[in-house]
Chain A
Amino acid sequence: MLYVVIAYLWLSLLLYLLFGGADFGAGILELFTTKKNRVRTRKTTYRAIGPIWEANHMWLIIAIVIMFVGFPDIYTVMSLYLHIPLVIMLLGIIARGTAFSFRHYDAIRDDMQTVYNRIFTWSSFITPLFLGIIAASTVSSAIDTHAHGFLDAYIFSWLRVFNITVGLFTISICAFLAAVFLIGEADNDKDRTRFISKAKSSNMFAVISGAMVFLSARYEHIPLAVWIFGNAVSLCAIIAALASLILFWYLLSKGKTKVLRILAGFQITMILLAVTYPHFPKIILLKNGGYLSLTDESGEQKAIESLAIALLVGSIFILPALFYLIYSFKKPSEEQSL
C-alpha cells in the first residue's frame, strides 16, 4: 500500500508539472510576448485552458495532502526549513489564480485589465521559479536540522545558486510546455508560427538553463552528474528525452500538433524520472549527510492504507470526469461561452 501512495505522489507531481506547468507557461509566454501580440496570446490561452484551469491546480493539493497524511515528518521538515520559499510560492498562487479569473469575469473592461494582466504574468513567472527552488532544496543537502542562526536555518536552506538555476529551468520547462500546447490551439497560421518560434526559443532556454544547473551543481559540490548518469534508469531516461527532443525539432514545422504534445510531455516525464529515481526512496537530503526517506518516515500503517484506498477510490471518480472534460472542450463550440 505504501508504494501505491508513493506512486500517487509521483504522479500528482508529474501531472502538476505538466498541466499546472503549462498553465504557468501560458503566463510566462504572455510576459515575453510583444505588446501587439499579447491580446492574441491571451485569447488563445483562455480558450485553451479556461475550462480545465481549476482542475490543473488540484494536483498540487493532492500532493500536499499525500505528504501530510502519509509522510508527516517530511512535510514538517519542509514546512519548517522552506517556510519562506513556500510562502512566496503561495502568494504567487493566490495572485495568479485570482488575477486569472478576475480579468475574465470583470464585467467592465477598462484599465483594471492592465493591473490583472500584470499580476497574472509576473506571478506566473515567480511561482514556478519558487517551485523549482523548493524542489532543488530537497536534494541540495542544504537543509540543516541542527542550524542555530536564522540565516542558516531558514535562508541558506534554499537561497543558493544551484536552487535558483533549477528554478529558471522549471520556468523554461513551463514556457516550453505552454508553447507546444498552444501550437495546436492557434486558429490561424500567423499565431501558429508565433507559437512554434516560442517553442523553439523556450526549448533553447531550457537547454541553456539545464546546462547552468549542471555547472552550478559542480560549483556547489552537488554530485548531480553522478546521480543522473551513474545509474541505468536515469541514463536511459535522459537518452530517451534527448531522442524525443531530436524528433521534436524534426517534426516542429510539420504541423503534427498531437505528436508534438506527446513528445513534449514525454520529455518532461523522462526528466522528472531521471532526477527523482537516483534518490528514491530518499526525498530530502540533509546537510549533516542524513536523509528523510519515503519508506522510513511514512506514517502509521493504517493511515497509509486508508490514504491509498481514498486515492484509488478518488481516481475512479476523478479520472473519467477529467478526461471527458478535456475531450468535450476539444470539440468546436456553437455558442461562445460566458
Chain B
Amino acid sequence: MDNFMAARSQMALSLAFHIIFSCIGMVMPFFMAVSHYLWIKTDNLIYKNITRAWSKGVAIFFATGAVSGTVLSFELGLLWPEFMKHAGPIFGMPFSLEGTAFFIEAIALGFFLYGWGRFNKWFHWITGLIVGISGLVSGILVVAANSWMNSPSGFDYVNGKYINIDPIKAMFNKAWFSQALHMCIAAFAATGFAVAGVHALMILRKRNVSFHYRAFKIAALFAIVAAILQPLSGDISAKNVARLQPPKLAAMEAVYKTEKGVPLLIGGIPNDSTQEVKYAIRLPNLLSFLAYDNFNAEIKGLDQVPATDRPPVAVTHYSFQVMVALGMFMLLIAILYLIILIKKKSWQNKRWLLKLFAIATPMGFMAVEAGWTVTETGRQPWIIYGIMRTKDAVTPMPGIIYSFYIFTAVYISLSLIVIFMLYRQIKMVPVLYDVTNDKNMH
C-alpha cells in the first residue's frame, strides 16, 4: 500500500468509526428525552430506569465520539495538509459554529448525567433535550462542511488561487441541505433500529420483559418514522447528485454511456474494461425518472468525463446497492410495524416481529457506512470536487502506513471494549434496573 492509499484508508477508518459513535450520541438523547418525559408524567419507575440505563450508554458513546472527533479535526491537517491550507478558511464556518454546538452539548451532558436529584425535574429534562438538539446541530454543521467538498462554493478559483472567500456562502452550498437531511434521518433510523433490535433480542430471551418492552417501543417508533421518511430524502439527494455531480450518479448506477431513458439497475457486476454491467435486474427508464422526473431524460454517463476524472465504479455501485437494499428492508419492517400499531395491536408481541427487529439491529449502521462510502468514493478523484485532487492534497511525510496500522489497532480495540461494555450493561439490567429490586431506586 503506498502512502496515498494508507492516508485514504486511515481517513476512511477514522470516519467510519466516528460516524457510528456520533450518530448514537446525537440520537439517543431524544429517546432518553421521551422516556424521561414519560417518567415525569406517569411516575412509572420503569421509565426512569430506562432513561438511566440509556444515559450510561450515551455517556460511553459520547466520550468515544468526542475523542474520535477531536482526532479527526487534527487528522484533516495531518493527512491532507494541502487541502486544509486552502480549504480551512473557506469551509471553516460550519466548524467554528460546530465548536460552539459541541461545547454546549458537553455542558448539557454534564448537567444531565450528574443532575439526578439535584435540579428541578423539568430543568433536568430540558438539559437532556439540549444534549440531543446541540448534537443534531453539530451533525448538520459537520455534514455541511463535507457537502462543500462535493459542491464547492463561496470562492473564486483563479489561476490556482482561492480568492473572494465567502464562508457563509460556502456553508450554504448547494448540497448541504440534501446531505444533512439524509444524514440526520439516517442517524435516527440506524440508532433506532440498533436500540430496538437489542431490546427485542432481550424480550425474545424473556429477560426483564416489561423494562425491555417499553424501551423497545420508544426506539422502534423513532426507527420506523425515520425509515419511512428516508426514501423521500434519498430521492432529494439523488436528484441533487444528478445535478451537481453527474459522475457520482453514473458510478452509483454504473452508467458507462450517456443515454436517454436509462434503466435503474438492481445489483449487477460492473466491468470497467468492457464498460458493461452483468447480471443486473433492469427496471426500464426508472433512473431517468428518479433523477429528473422524466422517463426519457438523458443521464450523463462516465464517457462524459476523462478517464482520469472518473470515480471507482465498482465500490461506489456496490455500496449504493447495499445502502438501498438495506433501506428498503427497513422500510418494509417500518410499514409492517406501522400497520400492526394501527390495525393489528394483537400482533405487537409476536415473536416473529421481534425476530425481524433483532435481525435488523446492525442494518441501519451498515446502510450508514455504505452511504458514506458512496458519497466519499463517488467524489474521487477529487477532494474538492472539480478543484483539487485527493492525491495532490496528501501529506508528503512517508510512512503513513504505520500510523494507519496503529489507528486500526486502536479503533478495533475500542470497538471491542465498547461492545463488551454494552454487553455488561445489558447483563446487569436485572440487578440495576429491575423495578422489583428497589434498593437502587433512591
Do A and B interact?
A: yes
Nearest-Cβ distance from residue A81 to partner chain B, whole angstroms: 9
Asked if residues A328 and B96 are in contact (CB atoms below 8 Å), the reply is no
Query: Is A105 among interface residues, defined by CB-CB distance under 8 A?
Result: yes
Which B37-91 residues have C-beta < 8 A from chain A? 52, 55-56, 59-60, 62-64, 66-71, 73-78, 81-82, 84-90
Q: Is B168 an interface residue (CB 8 A)?
A: yes
Give the contacting residue for A98; candidates B97, B104, B111, B414; CB below 8 A. Answer: B414
Q: List 16 A-B residue pairs with CB atoms under 8 Å apart, sorted by A's residue number.
A: A51-B113, A58-B103, A64-B74, A65-B99, A72-B85, A73-B85, A76-B85, A91-B410, A94-B67, A94-B71, A106-B424, A306-B96, A306-B167, A329-B114, A338-B55, A338-B56
Known: A102-B417, A302-B166, A310-B93. A61 touches B424 (CB 8 A): no
* CB proximity of A127 to chain B, nearest CB, Å: 11
Closest A-B pairs by Cβ, 3 of them: A335-B117, A69-B92, A79-B77
Bound Cα distance from A34 to B430, whole angstroms: 36
Does B349 reach chain A (CB closer than 8 Å)? no
Determine how close the nearest CB of chain B comes to the CB of A116; give it in whole angstroms.
9
0 or 1 for each of A88-106: is its CB under 8 Å from B? (1 = yes): 0011011101101110111
Contact of A108 among B107, B399, B428 (CB under 8 A): B428
A242 at the interface (CB under 8 A from B): no
- Would A318 and B110 be within 8 Å (CB), given that A72-B86, A97-B67, A106-B424 are in contact? no
Interface string of A295-338 (1 = CB under 8 A from B): 00001101110110011011001100110010011010111011
Bound CA span A86–B77, Å? 11
Q: Given that A68-B92, A101-B59, A306-B167 are contacting pairs, would A318 and B104 also be in contact in the complex, using a CB cutoff of 8 Å?
A: yes
Q: Is B102 an interface residue (CB 8 A)?
A: yes
CA distance A306 to B399 in the complex (A): 37
A125 to B176, CA, bound (A): 41
Task: Tell me whether A1 is interfacial, beta carbon within 8 Å.
Answer: no
Q: Report the bound CA distance from A53 to B111 in whole Å.
A: 11
Q: Which residue of the partner chain B has the closest CB to A106? A: B421
Q: Which of A95, A304, A314 contacts B99 (CB 8 A)?
A: A314
Residues of B within 8 Å of A335, CB to CB, are 116-118, 442
The dominant DSSP class at the A interface is helix
- The answer on a CB contact under 8 Å between A337 and B114 is yes
Residue contact A94 to B398, C-beta cutoff 8 Å: no
Which A residues are CB-close (under 8 A) to B52?
338
B122 close to A (CB within 8 Å)? no
Cα–Cα distance between A102 and B119 once the two chains are bound (Å): 26
Contact: B398 with A307, CB < 8 Å? no
Contact of A310 among B71, B96, B406 (CB under 8 A): B96
Q: Is the CB of A328 within 8 A of B119?
A: yes
Is A60 an interface position by the 8 A CB rule?
A: yes
- With contacts A94-B410, A107-B421 taken as known, whether A53 is within 8 angstroms of B73 at the C-beta atoms is no
User: For B70, what are the chain A residues with a Cβ–Cβ distance below 8 Å?
Assistant: 57, 60-61, 90, 93, 97
Contacts of B236 in A (CB 8 A): none
Cα of A97 to Cα of B113 in the assembled complex, Å: 16
B109 at the binding interface (Cβ < 8 Å):
yes
Q: Is the CB of A68 within 8 A of B397?
A: no
Does B121 touch A at the CB level, under 8 Å? Answer: no
A12 to B, closest residue via Cβ? B99
Instruction: Using CB atoms, name the residue of chain A closest to B62.
Output: A54
Let me know if A169 is at the binding interface, CB within 8 A.
no
Contact status of A318 and B114, CB under 8 A, knowing A80-B81, A80-B396, A300-B165? no
Residues of B within 8 A of A (CB): 52, 55-56, 59-60, 62-64, 66-71, 73-78, 81-82, 84-90, 92-93, 95-100, 102-104, 106-111, 113-119, 163, 165-168, 395-399, 403, 406, 410, 414, 417, 421, 424-425, 427-428, 432, 442
Tell me the bound Cα distance from A53 to B109 in angstroms. 10
| CB of A279 to closest CB in B, whole Å | 22
Give Cα A141 to B116, complex, Å: 52
| In the assembled complex, A87 has its CB within 8 A of some CB on chain B | yes
List of B residues within 8 angstroms of A80 by Cβ: 81, 395-397
Q: Are A303 and B417 in contact (CB under 8 A)?
A: no
- Contact at A72–B88, with CB atoms within 8 Å? yes
Do A299 and B63 touch (CB < 8 A)?
A: no
**A54 and B85 contact, CB distance less than 8 A:** no
Beta-carbon contact of B114 and A300 below 8 Å: no
The minimal Cβ–Cβ distance linking A78 to chain B, given in whole angstroms, is 8
Flag if B63 contacts A61 (CB, 8 Å). no
Q: Which of A53, A78, A91, A100 has the most CB of B within 10 A?
A: A53
Interface residues of A in 17-65 (CB under 8 A from B): 50-55, 57-58, 60-62, 64-65
Q: Which residue of A lies closest to B98 (CB)?
A: A65
Tell me, in angstroms, the Cα distance from A317 to B107 when the chains sit together. 11
Q: Which of A60, A95, A300, A334 has the most chain B CB atoms closer than 10 A to its own CB? A: A300
In the complex, which range does the number of interface residues on chain A fall in? 35 or more
How many Å from the CB of A25 to the closest CB on chain B?
Answer: 19
Could you tell me if A321 and B85 are in contact, using CB atoms closer than 8 angstroms? Answer: no
A219 within 8 A of B: no
Task: State which of B89, B110, B115 has its C-beta within 8 Å of the C-beta of A55.
Answer: B110
Which residue in chain B gives the minimum CB-CB distance to A332?
A: B118
A266 at the interface (CB under 8 A from B): no
Pick from B66, B110, B397, B421: contact of A97, CB below 8 A: B66
Given A54-B66, A303-B90, do A62 and B111 touch, yes or no (CB 8 Å)?
Answer: no
Among B85, B103, B110, point to the contact of A314 (Cβ < 8 A).
Answer: B103
Q: Which residues of B contact A333 (CB under 8 A)?
A: 117-118
When distances are taken between beta carbons in the complex, the residues of chain B under 8 Å from A72 are 84-89
Q: Are B76 and A321 in contact (CB under 8 A)?
A: no
Question: How far, in whole Å, are A53 and B421 apart by their CA atoms in the complex?
Answer: 20
Q: Which residues of chain B have C-beta atoms less than 8 A from A153's C-beta?
A: 397
A250 at the interface (CB under 8 A from B): no
Check B165–A62 contact: CB distance below 8 A: no
Determine the distance from Cα of A75 to Cα of B88 in the docked complex, in whole angstroms: 9
Q: Which residues of B contact A75 (CB under 8 A)?
A: 77, 84-85, 88
Whether a CB of chain B sits under 8 angstroms from the CB of A282 is no
Which residues of chain A come closer than 8 Å to B425, judged between CB atoms?
105, 107
Across-interface contacts of A107 in B (CB, < 8 A): 56, 421, 424-425, 427-428, 432
Nearest CB in chain A to that of B82: its residue: A76
B53 CB, min distance to chain A CBs, angstroms: 9
Given the contacts A58-B103, A87-B78, A335-B116, A69 and B421 also touching, CB distance less than 8 Å: no
Taken together as a complex, chains A and B put the C-alpha atoms of A54 and B71 apart, in Å, by 15
Within 8 Å by CB of A322, from B62, B66, B107, B421, lies B107
Q: Are A338 and B110 in contact (CB under 8 A)?
A: no
List 6 additional A-B contacts (Cβ < 8 Å) besides A69-B88, A75-B77: A68-B92, A299-B88, A318-B104, A322-B107, A334-B118, A335-B442
B119 contact set on A, CB distance < 8 A: 328
Q: Are A58 and B99 in contact (CB under 8 A)?
A: yes
Q: Is the CB of B116 within 8 A of A337?
A: yes
Asked if A338 and B114 sit within 8 Å, CB to CB, the answer is yes
Q: How far is A57 from B102 in the complex, measured between Cα atoms in Å?
A: 11
